[in-house]
Amino acid sequence: MRKSIVFVIAALVALAGAEAAAQTAQSASAAGAAQTAKAVRPAGQGLEEIRFGVGVRGAVDRTLRNGSPEIVSLSYARYNQKGLGFRTGLEFMPVNMKIDSYFGVPVAFSARTRSRTFSQSVRTGLESAAVGAVRDAVYGYEPNARSILGDFIIGLFNRAEFFAGLTPGYIFGSNVPRGLSYGETTITEQTVDLIHRLSFTADVGFSMSFRIWNFNLGFAPAVHYYLTRNYVYVSETSPISGELGGAPIIKETPVRFQYSVLGYLSYSF
């Protein structure tokens, strides 16, 4: 069974390679004319891009996490022939740290790699699946459809982008109590205080995508550092009975780092 799976995948890789070689030979005759004439960008290699993304964003510190509120992003990017450019747009969170309505305007420097054609991506995916199947066979594991499909999908990703920038934003909500917790002799109230409505974050991240014609599907994880003091987690612990005495213990922890993970669809032109 393992030999059959490996043989089928190897045959598909060989077929994809033959097709790619034929396409290369067919386009070779037009290469000279294309070089002397005005450069024509292939599909998916456009210097401009519009991207729509949805995902989650939350505090990196586990003790401060308050779920993973949704984030929606719409951005525009422009690059030069070397893949260097900028990206800007709008982002919106209905709730962040239990406080309503955050808007941001990210502005970032971006650097991306060139993208392979869809047929080249499929060939790379098949090669990745074949390598995985052979690896499993060598180490005595039974190849299975899930691992082969996973290797194939990973091989489809054909463009990486790295970005770093700043995001000015504004927070429209107000302080919201998180709730109460009770101990044997104490009661603790936990809230998130909004100190300043205007926010400023430094952002860094990357994205991976694969394209079909001029469309790109991908994901983009990032880390955000608050340069301003906006969200502050406040924990106030007090004795349940006044007879115990003692002043309340108040602990304030500003939220500095947040993470985000977005899935997106973009169009290059």
Q: What domains lie within the chain, and their CATH numbers? A: 2-25+43-268 (2.40.160.20)
Q: How far is CA 74 from CA 49, 65, 137, 192, 221, in A?
A: 11, 25, 45, 28, 15
Residue type present at position 122: V
Mean pLDDT within 163-184: 81
What pTM was computed for the model? 0.69
Quick check: 154 pLDDT over 70? Answer: no
How many CA atoms are closer than 13 Å to the CA of 191, on its beta-carbon side?
11
Cα 120 from Cα 196, distance rounded (Å): 50
**Residues whose CB is less than 8 angstroms from the CB of residue 120 and which lie 6 or more positions away in sequence, other chains included:** 20, 158
Quick check: 174 pLDDT over 70? Answer: yes
The pLDDT tens digits of the residues spanning 52-109 come to 999 999 888 877 766 668 999 999 999 998 889 999 999 999 989 888 899 999 999 9
* Chain centroid to CA 80: 23
Cα 64 from Cα 256, distance rounded (Å): 10
The pLDDT tens digits of the residues spanning 5-52 come to 444 444 444 444 444 444 444 444 444 433 433 344 554 457 899 999
Residue type present at position 167: T
Q: What is the pLDDT of residue 233?
A: 85
CA-wise closest residue to 259 among 105, 54, 60: 60
Q: What is the pLDDT of residue 25?
A: 45
Cα 2 from Cα 259, distance rounded (Å): 41
Q: What is the pLDDT of residue 38?
A: 38
Cα 116 from Cα 128, distance rounded (Å): 15
Token code pair at residue 111 = 């650097």
